[in-house]
Amino acid sequence: MSKKFHVSTTVNGDPVEFLCDSRETVLDVLRDRLSLTGAKEGCGTGDCGACSITVDDRLVCACLMLGAEAEGKSIETVEGIAAGEDLHPLQKRFIEYAALQCGICTPGILVAAKNLLEKHPDPTEEQVRYWLAGNLCRCTGYDKIIRAVMDTAAEMREAS
């Protein structure tokens, strides 16, 4: 078997170390080595967004980044969005608005939407639509997703 890489990184605020093969993606590492299965493999080619995570606050597809490249980085996944039992406003709105059906695209969409609101607290609807255009959903038709993101943004602006 090929050489293993020893990687030290931060996942959802916790220091994490793992060994991985040269070909393993961050998605493989998260799912198979760290038991964080919230990020999903929808296509494996960076087209569907189901594996969206942030790396040093940058939105990436975990299937397109190698595990070895995570050295020294800070990774955030869907599992880190809620503060313990307290859901993030986006998560609450997604439930309230029925902005999910089968739920398998939901983790990626939430990671992407949270990243958008951190960078652009007052997005236009068009901005939301194009920011999330890389996150495919086959169930909902997107309308409730966009409304949930827009209304969460408004709510968070008022709260801050």
Partner 1 sequence: MSVAKSLPHDAARLHVTGAARYVDDIPTPADTLHLAFGVSTIARGQITAMDLAAVRAAPGVVAVLTAEDLPFANDVSPSVHDEPLLSDGAVHYMGQPLFLVVASTHLAARKAAHLARIDYAEETPILTVEDALAANSRFEEGPRIWEKGSATAAVAAAPRVVSGLFEIGGQEHFYLEGQAALAEPQEGGDVIIRSSTQHPTEIQHKVGEALGIPMHGVRVETRRMGGGFGGKESQGNALAVACAVAARLTGRVCKMRYDRDDDMIITGKRHDIRIRYRAGFTEDGDVLGVEFWHYLRCGWAQDLSLPVADRAMLHSDNAYCIPAMRIESHRLKTNTQSATAFRGFGGPQGMVGIERVMDHVAHDLGIDPVALRQRNYYDALGEGGLSAPRASATHPPEGISQEKKDNLTPYGMAVEDFELHGMTARLLESAAYDARRAAVADWNASNDVIKKGLGFSPVKFGISFTLSHLNQAGALVHVYQDGSIHLNHGGTEMGQGLFQKVAQVAASRFGVDLEAVKITATDTGKVPNTSATAASSGSDLNGMAVKAACDTIRDRMAAHLAELHQCAVAQVRFDRGAVHVGAEVMSFAEAAHACYLGRVSLSATGYYKTPKLSWDRLRGQGRPFFYFAYGAALTEVAVDTRSGENRILRADILHDAGASLNPALDIGQVEGAYVQGAGWLTTEELVWDERGALRTHAPSTYKIPACSDRPDVFNVSLWDGQNREETIYRSKAVGEPPFMLGISAWLALSDAVAACGETYPALDAPATAEALWHAVRRVRDA
- Per the listing, tokens 């030290």 go with 8
Contact 9, 26 (CB under 8 A): no
**CB 50 to partner 1: min, Å:** 6
Q: What angle do CA 69, 34, 102 make, to 5 degrees?
A: 105
Cβ nearer to partner 1, comparing 70 with 99: 99
Distance CA 16, CA 81 (A): 18
Between residues 72 and 138, which has the closer beta carbon with respect to partner 1? 138
**How many CA atoms lie within 13 Å of 66's alpha carbon, on the beta-carbon side?**
12
Which residues sit at the interface with partner 1, rule CB under 8 A? 1, 23, 28, 31, 35-45, 47-48, 50, 77-79, 81-82, 87, 90-91, 94-96, 98, 100-107, 110, 128-130, 132-146
Nearer to partner 1, 77 or 115 (CB): 77
